Amino acid sequence: MSRIHKLPESLANKIAAGEVVQRPESVVKELVENSLDAGATEVAVVTRNAGKSLIYISDNGSGMSEEDAVISFERHATSKISSQEDLDRIMTLGFRGEALAAIAAVGQIELKTRRAEDELGTLVRVENGQVLDVTKTACEKGTSFAVRNLFFSVPARRKFLKSNATEFKHIVEVMQRFALCYPDVTFTLSDDDSLVLNVRAGSMEDRIRAIYNDQMLNAFLPFESEGEGIKATGYIGKPNFARKSKSDQYLFLNGRYIASKLLSHAVFTGYEHLMDAQSYPPYIIFLEIDPERVDVNVHPTKSEVKFDDESSIYQILQEGTRTTLRQHNLVPAMKMPDGDTGESVIAALRYALPNYDRAEKFPTAPAPSQPQSRGESWGAAPQPRFETPGTSRSSSVSSDVLQQLFGEPRQANAEMAPRPDTVTLDEQNGGAGQGITITPQSRSLDEDSNARVGLWQIHNKYILSQIRSGVMIIDQHVAHERILYEQALSSMESAMPMSQQLLFPLEMKTAPAEYATIRELRNDLMGLGFDLTLEKGERVIIQGVPNDVRPGQEAAILRELLDQYQEYQQMGKTDQRDLIAASFACRAAIKAGDPLSEPEMLDLIEQLFSTSMPYVCPHGRPIVIRIDLAELDRRFGRTS
């Protein structure tokens, strides 16, 4: 007997099913695609138990004859192509004839279908890939599939399914994609009796408003770009509406949602410097390309496609984005050079310093004739060149670490210029009209040694400080992020989350996918301090928020947290609590650009150095950069 044999059909189908049907969402996607291919203008989806117990999809499309209804469950049974030429010009969403066979292999199906010309419809029941019975039935024109007990015959796969909230979120996401791609089709989605999505056929604008809200509609600029037989239309987001995740980036090719890193990069680069690397512009772009130039047959779920000329599409998207932004006068802003080498830090310091001419007007400024050769007069510029007028305020800082950091430098004391208590200087250059406030502070850290700390906020972004070994520069945002991250984690782990109740609960209208995410994360969000109630109609009532959320920011922080969470999740990170803590920290932390008072700066530093990891933020970016005196000396050519 030969060792090689053909697998029984039912087993082969189960194996094949693994590629097409990974989770309830895959069934929804395949069946809705079939409905759209059948010309439906109304598609209703009902799920129970996030699709694990039931997925029911009905449409008002063409329907099938009895013969077709039976054969449709066979592998490679399709009405959509019949020749090589057809395969080269795919105009439909499906064409591989696999979906129904695959679903039938792993679920129990009941199909009801009727064509307009038939008086009675057909009912087909299928289980384990086998047609159980075929009967006549009265039904509406169109087709409905009820898929029960998905993976009941493949317990191994059932085990891989995630929580209902997670599985349902996938379903919502796929429905949202269909809804945005087909505004002329009415879609509904309900789960366990709650109506989650309900969008009526209408214009694209109506659709955006229905899925999101008016605000999102205003965030979009109409987009159009064309060339080389490729047409791109749709919307791109205004730069200030950038999101922290890719979840609002939709690219559709000939009516099919596609994922393409390259093409989303094309749009991103079109924004030039208007957007930083961690921001994602929302967009909804429809690409129309001659189907002969596209190969959709490269992936079983067809979410990836191949183009004959990818670089043209790249250019069309990039150029289109640029042109659109330019037309709306959204010109890229100039960026300050940055970097973490001592050299550029010094350059940045010089930039932030009071103008020399201004400084020289101070009566106590050194005479211009004073020799400049030793470098102090401009090299030591952060300490303005005039005598300190009086007393220094003091406060007690207990931490050993602080003492270690801020203790007197071991040498060169004599060369230190005296510092004023507070100097505020406006710098009007740079055109932004924003004054730069430099607030040097003297304070007594340790009464015995009279050690002094100077703290300056530079560009409302970094805190510069003299420390024992040289200077230290702290990124205020990441520093606060580290602090909040650790607080968030411990709040979620404790039985009593720290929450501040709102006097007036806030109502937040969410998009279906957002709502599903909140539902999924609710417990940990509560642990963090968000007191949330979920209401029908995707309304979320915020009753309490974590302590660090600033008034007026409640809904925005929650939203940004969710965006950020999705972003991290897409990067393949998995620990839910950790993700939530990091997301919250990132979004609730003070930002670059927030001015800080001197007590705030000191508070921040104190808290930072009582965290477990003061030097790196939760994503591994540095929080503190130190430049040692030795390094400064070397750069200034001092050899003492």
**Which stretches of the chain bind ligand ADP, using CB under 6 A?**
30, 34-35, 38, 59, 61-64, 72, 77-80, 94-100, 143
Is 35 a binding residue for Mg ion by CB under 5 A? The answer is no
Among the candidate windows 27-35, 161-169, 238-246, 382-390, which touches Mg ion by CB under 5 A?
27-35
* Pairwise CA distance, residues 57 & 92, whole Å: 19
Q: Work out how close the CB of 33 gets to Mg ion at its nearest, in angstroms, rounded to a whole number.
A: 5
* Pairwise CA distance, residues 560 & 304, whole Å: 29
Q: Work out how close the CB of 94 gets to ligand ADP at its nearest, in angstroms, rounded to a whole number.
A: 2
Q: Work out how close the CB of 89 gets to ligand ADP at its nearest, in angstroms, rounded to a whole number.
A: 15
Spatial CB neighbours of 402, under 8 Å, sequence gap ≥ 6: 445, 605, 606, 609
Give the residue among 395, 353, 345, 412 at the shortest CA–CA distance from 624.
345
Read off the DSSP letter of residue 425: -
Q: Work out how close the CB of 34 gets to ligand ADP at its nearest, in angstroms, rounded to a whole number.
A: 3
Q: Which is nearer to ligand ADP, 71 or 217 (CB)?
A: 71
Query: Of ligand ADP, Mg ion, none, which one sits near residue 124, judging by CB under 5 to 8 A according to partner kind?
Result: none
Q: Work out how close the CB of 115 gets to ligand ADP at its nearest, in angstroms, rounded to a whole number.
A: 9
Query: Of Mg ion, ligand ADP, none, which one sits near residue 77, judging by CB under 5 to 8 A according to partner kind?
Result: ligand ADP
Q: How many residues of this chain bind Mg ion (CB under 5 A)? A: 3
Q: Which is nearer to Mg ion, 94 or 282 (CB)?
A: 94
Among the candidate windows 31-39, 241-249, 310-318, 598-606, which touches Mg ion by CB under 5 A?
31-39
Query: Of ligand ADP, Mg ion, none, which one sits near residue 97, judging by CB under 5 to 8 A according to partner kind?
Result: ligand ADP
Query: Of ligand ADP, Mg ion, none, which one sits near residue 234, judging by CB under 5 to 8 A according to partner kind?
Result: none
Q: Work out how close the CB of 296 gets to Mg ion at its nearest, in angstroms, rounded to a whole number.
A: 12
Query: Of ligand ADP, Mg ion, none, which one sits near residue 64, judging by CB under 5 to 8 A according to partner kind?
Result: ligand ADP
Query: Of ligand ADP, Mg ion, none, which one sits near residue 58, judging by CB under 5 to 8 A according to partner kind?
Result: none
Q: Helices (DSSP H) in 328-361: which residue ranges?
A: 342-352, 356-361
Q: Work out how close the CB of 130 gets to ligand ADP at its nearest, in angstroms, rounded to a whole number.
A: 16
DSSP, residue by residue, 476-536 = HHHHHHHHHHHHHHHHHHSSS--EEEEEEEEEEE--HHHHHHHHHHHHHHHHHT-EEEEET
Q: Work out how close the CB of 78 gets to Mg ion at its nearest, in angstroms, rounded to a whole number.
A: 7
Cβ atoms of 188 and 45 within 8 Å: the answer is: yes
* Pairwise CA distance, residues 145 & 109, whole Å: 7
Q: Which is nearer to ligand ADP, 148 or 209 (CB)?
A: 148
Q: Two tokens at 398?
A: 């207990």
Query: Of ligand ADP, Mg ion, none, which one sits near residue 35, judging by CB under 5 to 8 A according to partner kind?
Result: ligand ADP
DSSP, residue by residue, 561-628 = HHHHHHHHHHTT---HHHHHHHHHHHHHS--TT----HHHHHHHHHHHTTSS-TTB-TTS-BSEEEEE
Cα–Cα distances (Å) from 7 to 18, 21, 74, 99, 131, in that order, read: 15, 20, 16, 19, 19
Cβ atoms of 385 and 417 within 8 Å: the answer is: yes
* Pairwise CA distance, residues 258 & 286, whole Å: 10
Here's the x/- map for Mg ion, 53-92, by CB under 5 A: it reads as ----------------------------------------
Q: Two tokens at 563?
A: 């965006």
Cβ atoms of 382 and 440 within 8 Å: the answer is: yes
> Interaction with Mg ion in 87-146: which residues (CB under 5 A)?
94, 99
Q: Which is nearer to ligand ADP, 145 or 220 (CB)?
A: 145
Read off the DSSP letter of residue 464: E
Q: Two tokens at 539?
A: 């309304």
Q: Which is nearer to ligand ADP, 100 or 473 (CB)?
A: 100
Among the candidate windows 34-42, 45-53, 577-585, 620-628, which touches Mg ion by CB under 5 A?
34-42
Q: Work out how close the CB of 145 gets to ligand ADP at its nearest, in angstroms, rounded to a whole number.
A: 7
Q: Which is nearer to ligand ADP, 92 or 465 (CB)?
A: 92
* Pairwise CA distance, residues 121 & 135, whole Å: 9
Rounded to 5 degrees, what angle do the CA atoms 20, 25, 29 make?
Answer: 70
Residue nearest to Mg ion (CB): 94
User: How many C-beta atoms lie closer than 10 Å to residue 402's C-beta?
Assistant: 21
Q: Work out how close the CB of 102 gets to Mg ion at its nearest, in angstroms, rounded to a whole number.
A: 10
Q: Which is nearer to ligand ADP, 132 or 571 (CB)?
A: 132
Q: Which is nearer to ligand ADP, 82 or 413 (CB)?
A: 82
Q: Which is nearer to ligand ADP, 142 or 512 (CB)?
A: 142
Spatial CB neighbours of 633, under 8 Å, sequence gap ≥ 6: 639, 640
> Interaction with Mg ion in 550-569: which residues (CB under 5 A)?
none
* Pairwise CA distance, residues 479 & 487, whole Å: 13
Q: Say whether 543 sits in a helix, a strand or coil.
A: strand
Is 342 a binding residue for Mg ion by CB under 5 A? The answer is no
Q: Is the dihedral of CA 237, 243, 248, 250 positive or negative?
A: positive
Q: Work out how close the CB of 78 gets to ligand ADP at its nearest, in angstroms, rounded to a whole number.
A: 3
* Pairwise CA distance, residues 341 & 338, whole Å: 9
Q: Work out how close the CB of 31 gets to ligand ADP at its nearest, in angstroms, rounded to a whole number.
A: 7
Is 34 a binding residue for Mg ion by CB under 5 A? The answer is yes
Q: Work out how close the CB of 43 gets to Mg ion at its nearest, in angstroms, rounded to a whole number.
A: 14
Query: Of Mg ion, ligand ADP, none, which one sits near residue 48, judging by CB under 5 to 8 A according to partner kind?
Result: none
Phi, psi of 589 (to 5 degrees): -65, 155
Q: Which is nearer to ligand ADP, 301 or 341 (CB)?
A: 301
Query: Of Mg ion, ligand ADP, none, which one sits near residue 80, judging by CB under 5 to 8 A according to partner kind?
Result: ligand ADP
Phi, psi of 199 (to 5 degrees): -125, 125
Q: Work out how close the CB of 592 gets to Mg ion at its nearest, in angstroms, rounded to a whole number.
A: 49
* Pairwise CA distance, residues 392 & 398, whole Å: 18
Q: Work out how close the CB of 63 gets to Mg ion at its nearest, in angstroms, rounded to a whole number.
A: 15
Query: Of Mg ion, ligand ADP, none, which one sits near residue 147, judging by CB under 5 to 8 A according to partner kind?
Result: none
- Cα of 207 vs its chain's centroid, Å: 22
Q: Which is nearer to ligand ADP, 52 or 96 (CB)?
A: 96
Give the residue among 123, 99, 104 at the shortest CA–CA distance from 38.
99
Q: Which is nearer to Mg ion, 100 or 589 (CB)?
A: 100
Query: Of ligand ADP, Mg ion, none, which one sits near residue 525, judging by CB under 5 to 8 A according to partner kind?
Result: none
Q: Which is nearer to ligand ADP, 142 or 529 (CB)?
A: 142
> What strand order describes the sheet that includes 455-458?
455-458, 462-467, 470-475, 624-628
Binding residues (CB under 5 A) for Mg ion: these are: 34, 94, 99
